[in-house]
Chains A and B, each alone.
Chain A
Amino acid sequence: MTTVNLNVDVHHLTRVEGHGNIRVRIEGGKVKEARWDVVETPRYFEVMLQGKHYTSAGILTARICGICSIGHCLASVRATEDAFGIEIPPLARKLRLLAKHGETLQSHILHLYFLAAPDFLGLPSAIPLATANPTVFHIARRLKGLGNRICDAVAGRTTHPVSIKVGGMARLPERAGLEKLRAELVASTADLAATVEVFAGLSIPDFVRETEFVALKGEKDYPWIGGQLVSTDGVVKPEREYRAMTNEFVTDANTTKWCKVSRESMAVGALARFNLNYRFLHAEAQKVAERLGLKPVNHNPFMNNVAQLVEAVHVAHESIELIDEILRQPASAPISVPVKPRVGSGVGAVEVPRGILYHGYSYDGEGHVTKADCVIPTTQNNLNIHLDIGALVAKLAQQPGMTDARLELLCSMLVRAYDPCISCSVH
């Protein structure tokens, strides 16, 4: 007969964006309680959007998230362009994707080195690495900086972008700046290769709970902006029917909503994208996946860390190609089209670092928002995290010698593996 009694009570989990709590209680070997609760203050962005002019919507919604503000801005302008029936010029598409890649690189590197890695290294944060392991610290710093410099050059600013507007882009980056970034990206392959070896040396916890992954559906490329939605359970929906792919509902204990499609929960993010669109990844990124033992379909949420690294390699390589394509465009190529508001509704779906993000707006004839809806990646993941905690705890409770501290660490690492953007999920 077992007498295992364990207790975990994490109030405001550290090294994640936003405020969430983990509560686990095991008595006599039985899981009495295992919860992931989001307690972030609600912000009501969907209400604040009402009555706003279309030129303000992207600027306002960028402020939903300090890490993926470019992604929010992109989803916002896409929803507005869909509502107004606007097709943006091909060069603007390339610029937007390049800005997106900069954000993905920055965000993934931030998460991998600064938020996730300290657990594997037994450190409270990445700050001690600056003196304890300067080589690794400088690799992290350089890669993160490169992501930010791409955003600065293309979107005008890395947090809360200024050059993305309804109809296209507000300005073309300078040629010399793009050429410099290209050279930096080529040089970054060494830092990325070193990062792969750093993470190859970490021991990823072995845990599986099957779930339904949702992502944009790739047609020719690894998808980031717009298109059909697909799940690993075979559900396919057009972008405009995103509500059928999220099914948000409200619970008592959480300020986030919860989501599901065909099962009791769902998951989005790097691992979901990897699982659904592996074949479109850059060959170098596929090699990294192989080196790190990641194959589709993988149901270990801790492997989201690895999927992020695979994607970091993918976006670095694809950014080089994108810059080449942008530099080949004639100086006269348009970067925006005129905007004429009309009555209607539109949707923008964008794969942001933590998963698929949707903005859906309705407009009056003067270009003012009448109704808005934003469904955030972490909102789609929160129920999955909650159920994962339950499954992980049930497994760990059976392990001999389990302690409160060890259980707390593994539960915290599980939540961090999702790279949750909690205040974003409670927008």
Chain B
Amino acid sequence: MRYLGIEPKRPKIAVVDFTCCEGCELQLANKEETLGPFLGALQVVNFREVSSEKREDYEIALIEGAVSRADETDRLRRIRKQAKVVVAFGSCACYGGVHRMKNAYSLAAANREVYGDKPKDTDLVRPVKEIIPVDLEIPGCPVNKEEVERIVQHLVMEVPYNFPVYPVCVECKQRFTVCRYDLGELCLGPITRAGCGAPCPAGGLGCWGCRGPDADPNYEEFIASAKKRGFGEREIKERMSFFGGFEGVVP
């Protein structure tokens, strides 16, 4: 990456994954029109999903996935020792993601249901920050590559990145998307942090809250207003529990 002939620093980065679908990592290889410059801005030294290079001298660790087994906890601690900057990458790393819904069920019963009489080692699902200190959280299921690019640009130029403080509703208005409430659907847009570009409401789906809360969510008013519009407690609860970002405030 060169702008006006100046060669910026190319930080050494590792991309590692835990309990997840690896969809956020995949975003690093998406937005193909700028893939060359994006990869050129970094030195990818450890990225198991796309490279056989396994260097341990990384400065930044992008961590995808939640934590759900003891060996993952050990691995995370080793990564924290090496990396100057630990980034929780995607909603699973930030909040536990959809996997956190497993915590509502008994682990023994879950094991019986899936593995019968040969249970597998598993634990309660936790976000990365409950195990090690995290320097930056990039939420989203999946992360928005455009936002990731902007963050990397800031990082390389040593300029702090500010996430939007406003909710997804603002981005729906910006792109002239009809409000899902006007179509009679539940939407977590009013309490969810923007920055995704609001692709779901535009694509015909209410917001499921994957990016977690905006800077100043009014939960009481949101829940009361959703109920007034005829959405039941079970539906609101299911929606707010989905990605783990509203843990603790789910009705």
Residues on A lying within 8 angstroms of B by beta carbon are 12, 14-19, 41-44, 46-48, 50, 52-53, 56, 59-60, 63-67, 69, 110, 114-115, 118, 124-127, 130, 134, 137-138, 141-142, 144-145, 148, 155-163, 165, 169-171, 250-252, 255, 423-424
Looking at the complex, which one of A60, A65, A134, A138 makes contact with B23 (CB distance below 8 Å)?
A65
Task: Specify the main secondary structure of chain A where it touches its partner.
Answer: loop
Contact check: which of A126, A141, A159, A252 meets B27 at CB < 8 Å? Answer: A159
Given known pairs A63-B141, A162-B200, the reply for A44 and B235 (CB within 8 Å) is no
* B51 at the binding interface (Cβ < 8 Å): yes
A124, A159, A424: which has the most chain B beta carbons within 10 Å? A159
Please indicate the chain A residues that have their CB under 8 angstroms from the CB of B166 in the complex.
none
Q: A14-B52, A53-B238, A159-B30 are in contact. Are A60 and B205 (CB under 8 A)?
A: no
List 5 interface pairs A-B (beta carbons < 8 Å), by A numbering: A41-B122, A43-B102, A48-B99, A67-B23, A158-B30
Q: Please, what's the 1-or-0 string for B17-54, where 1 marks a CB less than 8 Å from any CB in chain A?
A: 11111111111011011011001100010011111111
Given contacts A46-B114, A125-B47, A17 and B204 within 8 Å (CB-CB): no
- Considering only CB atoms, which chain B residue lies closest to A148 in the complex? B30
Residues in B neighbouring A50, C-beta threshold 8 A: 105
- Total residues of chain B contacting the partner, CB 8 A: 60
Collect the chain B residues with CB atoms within 8 Å of residue A115's CB.
50
Contact yes or no, A64 B21, CB < 8 A:
yes
CA distance A15 to B99 in the complex (A): 24
B69 touches A66 (CB 8 A): no
Taking a contact as CB atoms closer than 8 A, the residue among A18, A47, A141, A160 that contacts B22 in the complex is: A18
How distant is the Cα of A16 from the Cα of B50 in the complex, in angstroms? 7
Tell me if A250 and B115 are in contact (CB < 8 A): yes
Q: Is B7 an interface residue (CB 8 A)?
A: no
Q: How long is the Cα–Cα vector from A66 to B29 in the complex, in angstroms?
A: 12
When A16-B49, A162-B199 are in contact, do A66 and B204 touch as well, CB less than 8 Å? no
B190 at the interface (CB under 8 A from A): no
| Closest Cβ–Cβ distance, residue A104 to chain B (whole Å) | 15
Q: How far is the CB of A19 from chain B (nearest CB, A)?
A: 8
Tell whether, in the assembled complex, residue B32 and residue A144 are in contact, meaning their CB atoms are under 8 Å apart: yes
List of A residues within 8 angstroms of B22 by Cβ: 17-18, 66-67, 423
User: What sequence of 0s and 1s flags, for each residue 97-111 of chain B, a beta carbon within 8 Å of any chain A beta carbon?
Assistant: 111011001000111
CA distance A41 to B126 in the complex (A): 13
Asked whether A47 lies within 8 Å of B29 as measured between CB atoms, the reply is: no
- Return chain B residues, CB-CB under 8 Å to A66: 20-26, 142
Q: Is B81 an interface residue, CB under 8 A from the partner?
A: no
A to B contact number (C-beta, < 8 Å): 170
Measured in the bound complex, the distance between the Cα atoms of B199 and A171 in whole Å is: 13
Asked if B120 lies at the interface with its beta carbon under 8 angstroms from chain A, I say yes
Instruction: Tell me the complex Cα distance, A63–B242, Å.
Output: 11
- The answer to whether B120 and A42 touch across the interface, beta carbons within 8 angstroms, is yes
**In the complex the two chains form, what is the Cα distance from A385 to B63 in whole Å?**
29
State whether the Cβ of B146 lies closer than 8 Å to any Cβ in chain A.
no
**Contact among B99, B102, B205, B242 for A162, CB-based, below 8 A:** B205
Q: Does B208 contact A (CB under 8 A)?
A: yes
The closest CB in chain A to the CB of B72 belongs to: A41
Whole-angstrom CA separation of A342 from B196 in the bound complex: 35
Chain B, range 38-82, C-beta contacts under 8 Å to A: 39-40, 44, 47-54, 68-69, 72
6 A-B pairs with the lowest CB-CB distances in the bound complex, closest first: A66-B23, A156-B203, A170-B204, A145-B32, A125-B51, A162-B203
Cα(A47)–Cα(B141), bound, Å: 20
